[in-house]
Amino acid sequence: MPPRRFDRHRLRAVRRAADLHQRELAEAIGLGSHVPVAGWESGKSFPPAEKMPAIAQALGRDIDDLFPRDGDPDLIDLRCDAGYSQGKAAELLAVVSRFQLGAAERGTRRLDEAALPALADLYGVPVEGLVAAQARSFGEVVSPGVASPASWTLAGTLGDLIDGAFPDEKRTAVDVAAAINAKIGTEVVTPPQVAALLGGASAAEIFSDGARTVVFEALGQYFGVSPMVFHDGQSADRRVLEDIRHLAARHDVTLAARGGEGGISQAFLAVLNDLLASDDTRA
């Protein structure tokens, strides 16, 4: 399953740009407290996949823009993109039980063909798209074409960070370049370079390899994010994924949770929490 990518820094920047408090976002997506939103933005937890559509809608963003995904969806993805938990989806469908839906999502037993139209209608996709998603849940290779996500762009990431850093007023490329250079203590970017990046130019078109690394480090320091977020989204994801797998292997814990809901295992979350706690202590 290709899960949607979640960037806590971007969520916070987009929320601030939308002029919403954490409490207001929580209320908009049906939560009784701002605590879960605060946990997402601090990196202590992740938003449930089935909540991501409501979060994107509340912030006025397309879900593929705010929570992009590389690849086409399987059954769990379609359910979550429709905003349903496994139990709620089964509750709304007389033709599919939670057990049957869970078995299909885990790739152990296919849904009855008679149930496919109702489930496709609930998820808001063609029956052909649902069949293709089910095939992916069973590990089968399916031709692309269902719910293709929006491409990651440096301009979009940088624009969101600028919106979060300057929430009260619009800043020109001159203002942004001056603020970054003042923070770093030397000139690392010029106004034309900032304008070109925001206009959609790639970093490779503007900077040499060595300069690009320096610029990304400076941008990360200024905005308080990892420099990796400015690299090509797919290659950055691969590096992060390999690091995560290495971390799980080094601590001898299972990375993925088992069962219909999927997600990260509790053992691996405990490892991450311990690392975050030790990092906070050093800070």
What local confidence, expressed as pLDDT, does residue 146 receive?
40
Report the share of the chain in percent with pLDDT over 90: 25
* 261-272 pLDDT tens trace: 456 777 778 878
Please give the average per-residue pLDDT across 148-176, as a whole number. Answer: 70
What local confidence, expressed as pLDDT, does residue 25 receive?
95
Assess if CATH 1.10.10 describes domain 75-137: no
* 116-134 pLDDT tens trace: 999 999 999 999 889 999 9
CATH number of 8-66: 1.10.260.40
Torsion of CA 269, 250, 225, 187, to 10 degrees: 170
Q: Is residue 145's pLDDT more than 60?
A: no
What local confidence, expressed as pLDDT, does residue 143 receive?
57
Secondary structure of the chain: what % helix, strand, coil (to 5)?
60, 0, 40
* 190-205 pLDDT tens trace: 989 988 888 777 788 8
CATH topology agreement for domains 8-66 and 75-137: yes
> Higher confidence at residue 27 or residue 150?
27
Phi then psi dihedrals of residue 30, to 5 deg: 85, 20
- In whole angstroms, give the CA distance from residue 202 to residue 131: 37
Average pLDDT, the chain: 81
Domain boundaries, the chain: 8-66, 75-137, 154-231, 234-282
What local confidence, expressed as pLDDT, does residue 144 receive?
56
Q: Is residue 242's pLDDT more than 60?
A: no
CA 73 centroid distance within chain: 14
Q: Tokens 């299909």 label which residue?
A: 104
What local confidence, expressed as pLDDT, does residue 246 receive?
62
Contacts of 143 (CB under 8 A, 6+ apart): 132
Tokens of 75: 């059954």
Q: Tokens 């879960």 label which residue?
A: 36
Q: Is residue 221's pLDDT more than 90?
A: no
Q: Which 3 state secondary structure label does DSSP give 264?
A: strand
DSSP state, 124? T
Please give the average per-residue pLDDT across 54-78, as a whole number. Answer: 88
Polymer length of the chain? 283
Helix (H) or strand (E) holding 259: none
> Higher confidence at residue 167 or residue 44?
44
- In whole angstroms, give the CA distance from residue 180 to residue 187: 8
Asked whether 189 and 196 are in contact (CB, 8 A), the reply is: no
Q: Tokens 């990431």 label which residue?
A: 157
Tokens of 186: 């030397």
> Higher confidence at residue 280 or residue 64?
64
- Which of 32, 38, 49, 33 lies closest to 15 in space, CA to CA? 38
